Structure 1
Amino acid sequence: MAGKKLWNKILYFLGIDDEEPPVPQYEDPLEIPARSEKGRVINIHQISKNRVTVFKPISFDEVKEISEELKNRRAVIVNLEGLDKETGRRILDFLSGSVYTLDGTVKKVGSGTFVFAPNNVDITGFNLDEIESGEDKKTIKI
């Protein structure tokens, strides 16, 4: 019987036999369920755990503690008044870089006072726009 199948295939290949070999029948392919994507789940209790921490650093050494708060996805308010210009600039530059890596924002809310917020915190308010538009954004007074 196996020899007959082979002979029929050879004849069909050469074009002598008109009979097509039987096409194997397959069952319907198994349906693989699509990988379900989990929706974004927001913990309601987490909202109450969010807090804002206020810092008034006296030296550059405190910048690590402030950036740890940002890394833990908490907003911080930093008051740089009373610092010498060089130290204030270094702290502002360091924290701006920290917030940038977290896709966050920096807003000036007063003379020498800034809010640094990670991307999970929105900063809104009409006074913020007035403060920003009233001063040259490239010049930050400390």
Structure 2
Amino acid sequence: MNNLVPLHGRTPREICLSQPSSFTEAESAIQSLKKGQLLLVNLADLPPSSSQRISDYLAGSAHSLSGQCTEVGNGVFLFAPPSIPIQTALAITTD
């Protein structure tokens, strides 16, 4: 256990999980971004038209707050406030 490195200066972050079934529920999920929380949204069970409308709304809201968004799975999206950058890992290939 001598290889543990303390992360000084880092504050704990919260992740808000959301699986909205309506546009109204998506509107309330934006409040977590405004509070500086990560927002993980599962839209996989919605009809394509509803999923598209909600994801567009959430992406636009994140963008207007200078945040970021990325799809992390089929119909699962991660939205981050500007204080938490999303970094994508490079794919590791083996020859």
Same fold (TM over 0.5): yes
User: What is the 5 A alignment of 1:70-109?
Assistant: 70-109=33-72
Counterpart code for 2:50: T
RCO (CA 8 Å, sep 6+): is it higher in 1 or 2? 2
1:17 corresponds to: none
Tell me the number of residue pairs that the alignment of Structure 1 and Structure 2 aligns.
Answer: 83
Separation (CA, whole Å) in 2 of partners of 1:101 and 1:122: 15
> What is the letter of the counterpart of residue 67 of structure 1?
I
Aligned-pair identity (%): 31
For residues 95 and 107 of structure 1, the distance between their equivalents in structure 2, rounded to whole angstroms, comes to 11
Q: Distance in 1 between matches of 2:53 and 2:77?
A: 14
Partner of 1:47: 11
Per the alignment, residue 133 of structure 1 pairs with none
Across the aligned residues of Structure 1 and Structure 2, the Cα RMSD in angstroms comes to: 1.7
Which one has a larger percent strand, Structure 1 or Structure 2? 2
- CA deviations 1:106-130 (Å, max 9, x no partner) are 111010001000110122242xx55
Structure 2: gaps (5+ residues): 1-8
Aligned with 2:30 (options 42, 67, 79): 67
**TM-score, normalization by structure 1:** 0.54
Unpaired runs of 5+ in structure 1?
A: 1-43, 131-142
What's the TM-score, normalizing by structure 2? 0.78
Q: Distance in 2 between matches of 1:125 and 1:87?
A: 27
Output one character per residue of 1:27-82: Cα deviation in whole Å (capped at 9) or x when no partner: xxxxxxxxxxxxxxxxx5x812x201111111111012111111111110001011
Question: Displaced runs of 4+ in structure 1, greater than 4 A?
Answer: none
